[in-house]
Structure 1
Amino acid sequence: MSKGWESKSVEEQQNVAAMPKPVIKGNVSDDAEKKRRVQALAMQRERILSERTASPHRRSALSAALIDIEEKLSELGWTLHL
């Protein structure tokens, strides 16, 4: 009996998670999500900048990743603060 109950609970949780979330422009949750995304990208950028390597292939990959992250940040309105 407990197996059936657990599977129904899991199925219900999956259905709730699969439901589309309402998107409202200017919503506080949208602003918070944007802020979290900018923060995550900025942290990735800092990690890439802190890496040191002698491998030219690795440096090339890091450079490409840095360019991609900075493009995403600029799309979100982020600017470099010196």
Structure 2
Amino acid sequence: MARGWESKAVESQQDEASRERQPADRRTDAQRTRDAKRYALSLARTRTAADLEHATHPAHRESLAHALRALDAKLRDLDIES
């Protein structure tokens, strides 16, 4: 049975889409792990900074400030390793 023009158009769109795909991720497992850890630390730092901005109790503020310094140190260590 002959194919109609619709199926040919769909086929050409699929061919074009497959050619335009992004190249595969060339990072190593170690790089992916490090990037994931950096992302997680960055998210934790953002959350802690936001919590510190809204905290009112001095002991809670000090605890959050300490956590922020620890997260900054971990991010620095991660940057030094790479």
TM-score range, shorter chain: 0.5 to 0.7
**Equivalent residue of 1:76, what SS?**
helix
**Moved runs in structure 1, 4+ residues, more than 4 A?**
none
Kindly provide the amino acid, as one letter, of the partner of residue 45 in structure 1.
R
Bigger helix fraction: 2
**Equivalent residue of 1:77, what SS?**
helix
Query: Following the alignment from structure 2 to structure 1, what is the Cα–Cα distance between the partners of residues 72 and 37?
Result: 12
| TM-aligned CA deviation for residue 57 of structure 1 | 0.4
Structure 1, unpaired ranges of 5+: 1-26
Q: How many corresponding residue pairs?
A: 52
Query: Which residue of structure 2 aligns with residue 67 of structure 1?
Result: 69
Query: Which residue of structure 1 aligns with residue 38 of structure 2?
Result: 38
Say what the alpha-carbon RMSD is for the aligned residues. Answer: 1.5
Q: How does 1:2-81 map to 2 (within 5 A)?
A: 28-51=28-51, 52-77=54-79
Rg larger for: 2
Structure 2, unpaired ranges of 5+: 1-26
TM-score, normalised to structure 2's length? 0.60
Query: Following the alignment from structure 1 to structure 2, what is the Cα–Cα distance between the partners of residues 64 and 53?
Result: 13
